[in-house]
Amino acid sequence: MLLPYLHPGLTEAGCDEAGRGCLAGSVYAAAVILPPDFRNELLNDSKQLTERQRYALREVIEREALAWAVGVVTPEEIDRINILKASFLAMHRAVDQLVVRPQHLLIDGNRFTPYPGIPHTTVVKGDGKYLSIAAASILAKTYRDDYMNRLAEEYPHYDWRSNKGYPTRKHRAAIAQYGPTPYHRKTFNLLGDGQLTLAFPEE
């Protein structure tokens, strides 16, 4: 049973990201403030749910949350500042957009760049412990999946509709055969061989 909040009485936003380990595409993050009395038996870490369950829960979260938002950091920004900082920046951008200002942030993971003026607590595997982080994980995951599905229409060879940009064997085989796309992260080990000697488009 997931917990509703860490600090009862505070307006608390849960934050989580999706796409940190991908070879291609932006990293997404979400911030969600749920009502104090929010309950949902199905709500859990997005990785424990089916695709159908995630999208059904997204509708519930967006309808019932006090506030929610999604932040995005592009592959170009990821290459410039590194993926860890990019994940935190995506969370910051999500918090920036909340129509209700939280008094505390619950962050999935063990590290975070402090958000100005709002204290935070990091929670390892928090998406399986707190409702608001689980809700954020679902929004981040589904909105990123939508984005990767759109990119898959533009670049069908990389199997992004299935792998969502993660380093599967089929994804890496496509990179080896067709080369990287403008959406691939230049600083990542795209072929899995410890070397990054690929020619990127428009260079």
pLDDT band for 6, please (50, 70, 90 cuts): confident
| 43 and 135 Cβ atoms separated by less than 8 Å | yes
Number of H helices, E strands in the chain: 6, 5
3-class secondary structure, 66: coil
Token pair belonging to 56: 């059904």
pLDDT band for 7, please (50, 70, 90 cuts): confident
User: DSSP string of 170-185?
Assistant: HHHHHHHHH---TTB-
Q: What is the mean pLDDT of residues 164-168?
A: 96
Q: In whole angstroms, what is the distance from residue 140 CA to residue 145 CA? A: 8
Strands (E), 43-199: 67-73, 104-108, 120-123
pLDDT band for 202, please (50, 70, 90 cuts): low
Count of C-beta atoms within a 10 Å radius of residue 36: 12
Predicted structure pTM score? 0.93
| 65 and 34 Cβ atoms separated by less than 8 Å | yes
Query: Does 193 score more than 90 pLDDT?
Result: no
* More confident site: 194 or 177: 177
Token pair belonging to 193: 């061989």
* More confident site: 24 or 47: 24
Q: What is the mean pLDDT of residues 188-194?
A: 83
